[in-house]
Each structure stands twice: as C-alpha cells, then as structure tokens.
Structure 1
C-alpha cells in the first residue's frame, strides 16, 4: 500500500471513523502510524497531553521488536499488543503490513469492548484505503 496517495477526503473519513468508534467510547488518544513511526493521523479527546510524535517513534520500534520475537518463536507475527498500566493502557493493532493503530485509554474502558471497536474501525479503514 502506498499511503502517500491517500486524499484529504480519505483522511477525513478515517478521522471520522476514529472519532466515532474510539474517541466517543472514551479513548484518550488514537494514532495511525507507519512502521517507521511516521504519523498518518491522530485524534484525541481534547484533554490528552501525550507527545504523539515521540510516542509514534517508540511504538514503531516496540512493534518491530515484538515482530522479531514472534519470528524467534515460530510465529509469522503478533498482530496485536497490549500494555496495561495502573491508569493508562496502550493497545496496538496492525491495520496491514505497513500501518499500526495505537489506542491509549484509561481503566474505565474494558479491553474486550475496546478490541471490538478497534476491529470494526480497522475493517472500515481498510475499505477506505482500498479505494485509492
């Protein structure tokens, strides 16, 4: 996928999906990045204070490390990562081979509910990418 040709209209539709499926359920911040750590788009709840640029770079490195570990144990990939903290949780999910969806959320949202919404968001985002 060459996301360099994604139109402004497509990015706006993706932002709408992120808002509807994730921000509106209480997610603090959601970012779509490429595997090099470049931000494709980011949405937050208006009160998030995350440094999304630093976070994107570190997240890409984290995902690459885990991908290498998957290969060491004979897995093709681990397509989903989850980090649980006392106040903040981070959920990583692959959209495709080039893009990651990163979601930061508090303890008021259950992981199962979040994952359901992430899966739905990714399916809708994939349809938009396919129209390029």
Structure 2
C-alpha cells in the first residue's frame, strides 16, 4: 500500500489517539514505526527513559525476523508479538503492511486490556492515515 503525505493535523490527531487510548491507561511509551524502523510518531508518559530511535530500529528487525519465521511454519504472518519481562513488557501490533504500533508497559496493565485499547487505537488511526490507491 502506498501512502500519501501525513499532514501536521493528522499527526496531531494520531498523537491524541495514542495518548487517550494508551498513555492514559498506563502505557509507558508507544511508538508508530514503518517497517524500516523509521519513527512516524512517539508518545510517552513523561517518565519514560527509552531510547526510541534505537528501539525502533531493533523492533523493525525483530518483526522482520518473526515474519520470516512465520513463513517457515506455513503462516502468512504473525501480526501480533508480545515480549514479557519481570517489570517491562513490549507489545507489537501491525497497523497495516507498512506500519507497526509498539507499546511498552509495566505489570500494572493486563495484556487483554492493552490489546483491546490497541485494537481501538488502530481502528481510529486507519481512518486518519492517508492512502494513495
């Protein structure tokens, strides 16, 4: 899918969605990246100490690796990834073929609650994101 140019107004609306749906429920940091690891936008809770640029590059590589593994087992893709740690967790979800939404959050948020909010955020973002058909 080819994308048009994202306006400043659209980007601000996307940031508002990320803040309302994810940051306000307790997510530490949320990033939208393209599959090359370029950051489209990032929001955090003001206390996050993540290096989002390094994280975005590594996340894109991680997602590409898992995509290749999916094909090895006969799946077209694994559209969702989750890494659980003792204190920090990372949730990856595809917005579409070009974009990933990555949420970093602690143990105070359940995965189910996060996933529900991610799905709602992605639905709203898709309505704003420009496409060249």
Superposition TM-score tier, normalisation by shorter sequence: over 0.9
Question: When the two structures are superposed, what TM-score results if normalisation uses the length of structure 1?
Answer: 0.97
Structure with the largest fraction of helix = 1
Q: Note the C-alpha offset of 1:131.
A: 7.0
Is the CA contact (8 Å cut-off) linking 2:21 and 2:118 kept in structure 1? yes
Q: Give structure 2 stretches of 5+ with no counterpart.
A: none
Task: Tell me the number of residue pairs that the alignment of Structure 1 and Structure 2 aligns.
Answer: 132
Backbone CA RMSD of aligned residues: 1.2
Residue 72 (structure 1) aligns with: 72
CA–CA separation in structure 1 for the residues paired with 2:111 and 2:130: 28
Once the two structures are superposed, residues 90-116 of structure 1 have per-residue CA deviations (whole angstroms, 9 ceiling, x without a partner) of 000000000000000000000000000
**Which stretches of structure 1, 4 residues or longer, exceed 3 Å deviation after superposition?**
1-4
Once the two structures are superposed, residues 32-69 of structure 1 have per-residue CA deviations (whole angstroms, 9 ceiling, x without a partner) of 00000000000000000000000000000000000000
Question: When the two structures are superposed, what TM-score results if normalisation uses the length of structure 2?
Answer: 0.96
Is the CA contact (8 Å cut-off) linking 2:3 and 2:131 kept in structure 1? no
Q: Give structure 1 stretches of 5+ with no counterpart.
A: none
